[in-house]
Amino acid sequence: MKIGLSEASRAVRGARLACGAMLLACPVMAAAPAAPTPPAITENAFRCITQMTHVRHYYVDNLAGDLAGTVRAAESTTGEPYPVGSVVQLVPTEVMVKREKGFNAATRDWEFFELDVSADGSKIRTRGFVEVVNRFGGNCFACHIKAQSQWDMICDNSHGCDTIPLTRAMTGALQRTDPRCKNPGPPSPEDAAALAQLGAMLKAGAAAAAKK
C-alpha cells in the first residue's frame, strides 16, 4: 500500500509525540546520594569522652552525622566497615577517626590522633598513622593493623591485636576523670586506686627508658 508524503510526515510527527509522551511518563533516576564528608578535623572535633556513645568498654561518635552507622558497626558480632566520620576512643588521649574513602589504603582510611586534654579542651599532639605513638611507647597503627580484617582495624578484646598494658579498671578510670568533662567531684576510691597504679606503671616505664 502506498502512503502519500503528507501521511508519512504525519506518521513521523505522531511517533515523535508518542516518544516524547513516554519520556515524560518515565521517572527520572535520581543520582545515588554522596557519602557524607566529615568537617575539617581540628581540636574542636574532640570532646568529653563520656558525652559520646558508650559501646561495651569504649566510646564512639560520628563527625559526619552517621552515629547510627557507627554504633551498628561497633555493636556488630561479625564485623563490618565503619562509616566515614566514625570516632572510636578507649581513653581520652587517643582517638581513631574514619576518613573519606581513598584517604589511606594502608590504614583502611583511619587517621590516628594523640591528644593533650585539659579543662580547656583538646590539643592535638600528633596525627597520622606511623607518626602516632602513645604514652606507653606503642605505635597506634602497628597495634591496630593486627586486627582481623572483618573488624576494620578495631582491636577490642579478641580481634587479633596485641594486649595493652592498661587494665579495664584503668581505662574506665581515665574515661570517668576526663578533665574536659564537668566532673562532679573527686574520683571514687576505686578509680583513684586504678589511676595510682597507672601512674606507678608510667613512672617505672619512664625510668626503664631512661636507662637505655
| Domain boundaries of the chain, sorted by first residue | 43-203
pLDDT < 70 regions, the chain: 1-39, 136
133 CB-near residues (< 8 Å, 6+ apart): 114, 126, 139, 140
For residue 136, the 8-state DSSP code is T
Residue 138: per-residue pLDDT? 77
* Cα(176)–Cα(183) distance, integer angstroms: 8
H/E stretch holding 114 reads strand 110-118
* Cα(116)–Cα(133) distance, integer angstroms: 13
Of 200, 166, 142, nearest to 58 (Cα)?
A: 166
Residue 12: per-residue pLDDT? 40
Q: Could you give the angle at the alpha carbon of 205 between the alpha carbons of 204 and 209, nearest 5°?
A: 120
C-alpha cell belonging to residue 70: 557507627
Residue 95: per-residue pLDDT? 96
| HSE toward the beta carbon, residue 34, CA cutoff 13 A | 5
pLDDT tens, position by position, 130-169 = 888 877 677 888 888 889 899 999 998 888 888 888 999 9
**Backbone CA torsion sign across 189, 191, 192, 194:** positive
Tallying the residues shown for the chain, one arrives at 212
Residue 103: per-residue pLDDT? 94
103 CB-near residues (< 8 Å, 6+ apart): 109, 111
Q: Are strands 94-98 and 110-118 parallel, antiparallel or unpaired?
A: antiparallel
The set of long-range contacts for 137-141, using a CB threshold of 8 Å and a minimum separation of 24, is 137/205, 137/209, 138/164, 140/94, 140/96, 140/112, 140/114, 141/106, 141/107, 141/112
Residue 169: per-residue pLDDT? 96
* Cα(92)–Cα(98) distance, integer angstroms: 17
Residue 185: per-residue pLDDT? 85
Residue 26: per-residue pLDDT? 39
**pTM for the model:** 0.78
